[in-house]
Amino acid sequence: MTNLQGGRSVANWSDVDATDIRAYIGLLILAGVYKSKGESTRSLWVDHSGRAIFRATMTHTKFRLMNTTLRFDDKLMRPSRHREDKLAPIRSLWEKWTHRLPMLCNPGEDVCVDEQLVPFRGRCKFRQYIPSKPAKYGLKIWVTADVETSYAWKCQIYTGKAAGSAAEVGQGKRVVLEMTEGLQGITVTCDHLFTSYALVQELLKRKVALVGTIRRNKPELPSKLLQVRQRAALSSLFGFTKNTTAVSYIPKRGRNVLLLSSKHRDPAVTEEEKRKPVIIADYNHCKGAVDNLDKLQEDDPSVATGPLPQHDRCLCLHAFVLFTAVDPSWKQAKSFRRRLFLEELGRSLVSAKIMRRKHPPRTPAAVTIV
């Protein structure tokens, strides 16, 4: 598709192949490793202040052309497909990416289902506004993440409701059931956006437990758990059914925290000063997996510029998680081994392109690399 777009928009276009695309992505990663965010791409190729590996890989003109012509679909056919699919421009890429995620890694015994907001302020019909998120504006993605590694086992982008349709009823239940399909013997942690007694029962049929906060307006909650008056601070009140536990915790006077769990069966509390129920302690331990995924991608130095910053960050983060899972001892003593991994990854992606250069670059440092 890049060649198709290049042939239409660039005179004397020279087709690119997989080696060129890998080299292009490798240079984006290296630009991020070398802290080039916000820097003009031209400065990366300058003799006195740039990096020799950029000039050794390809010319700045070639990089700039790839930057402007990179496509994942036929742009002329997009309008007809866009009427039925809001994600038409990247649908092929997105499905290949999400299809691979569950194949490459099995999650641990605890997973978290939550919404992720990918920062984006460009033109998009399904851009969301979530004031509780740091970015506030962006693309909302439902994510099932492994608690231990923050590996996104499954992702589903939210493109909004269909035009003219009513608001979806039971969306939280549907999302969790879809995002945990295929999993057994694990515990799902989610917040009040998703949790309900009906969801707990459906997950138990799949041999999946749930721990989550729940809204006080849910009809399944007994009235005693909703009462706040005359209850002491740091007190807990438990309610039980045959397979579910509900807890009401008063962290301070006038405030009530409600949770539902199919994992816990005892009215146990922690021995710390605040005497939190064990249900809340377990929830706090697992609830931040998707938020941590956001933080890791935001802190990722892997991409500095180009049309694929967020997707490349996600790719690089998951590549690092898989690589260190296979070889945990790799540069374990280094506190910045993620940066070392990204630099090695970027260099490996550009190496094939460097090796097949027909004409050497002009600067001595770049010639040495070639």
Task: Spell out the domain ranges in the chain.
Answer: 1-70+327-368, 105-160+169-294
Q: Considering the chain, what percentage of its residues have pLDDT values greater than 70?
A: 95
Residue with the larger pLDDT of the pair 71 and 168 = 71
pLDDT for residue 300: 59
pLDDT for residue 310: 61
pLDDT tens digit sequence for 247-277: 999 999 889 999 999 999 999 999 999 999 9
Q: Is the pLDDT at 118 greater than 60, yes or no?
A: yes
**Contact by Cβ (8 Å): 101, 157:** no
pLDDT for residue 308: 53
The set of residues, in sequence order, having a beta carbon less than 8 Å from that of 43 and lying 6+ positions away, is 49, 50
pLDDT, average across residues 317-330: 91
pLDDT, average across residues 25-44: 86
Kindly state the tokens that stand for 176: 């969790």
184-213 burial: b if 16+ Cβ within 10 Å, else e: eebbbbbbbebbbbebbebbeeeebbbbbb
pLDDT for residue 309: 57
pLDDT tens digit sequence for 92-111: 889 999 999 999 999 999 99
**Contact by Cβ (8 Å): 168, 90:** no
pLDDT tens digit sequence for 218-247: 999 999 999 998 899 999 999 999 999 999
pLDDT for residue 218: 93
User: How is domain 105-160+169-294 classified at the architecture level of CATH?
Assistant: Alpha-Beta Complex (3.90)
pLDDT, average across residues 269-297: 89
Q: Considering the chain, what percentage of its residues have pLDDT values greater than 90?
A: 61
pLDDT, average across residues 73-87: 85
Q: Distance between CA 129 and CA 117 in Å, rounded?
A: 9
pLDDT for residue 307: 46
**Average model confidence (pLDDT) across the chain:** 90
The set of residues, in sequence order, having a beta carbon less than 8 Å from that of 88 and lying 6+ positions away, is 73, 78, 81, 82
- List the one residue out of 213, 202, 148 whose CA is nearest residue 179: 202
Q: Is the pLDDT at 41 greater than 70, yes or no?
A: yes
Single pTM value for the model = 0.86
The gap from C-alpha 154 to its chain's centroid, in whole angstroms, comes to: 9
pLDDT tens digit sequence for 140-184: 999 999 999 999 999 999 988 876 677 788 899 999 999 999 999
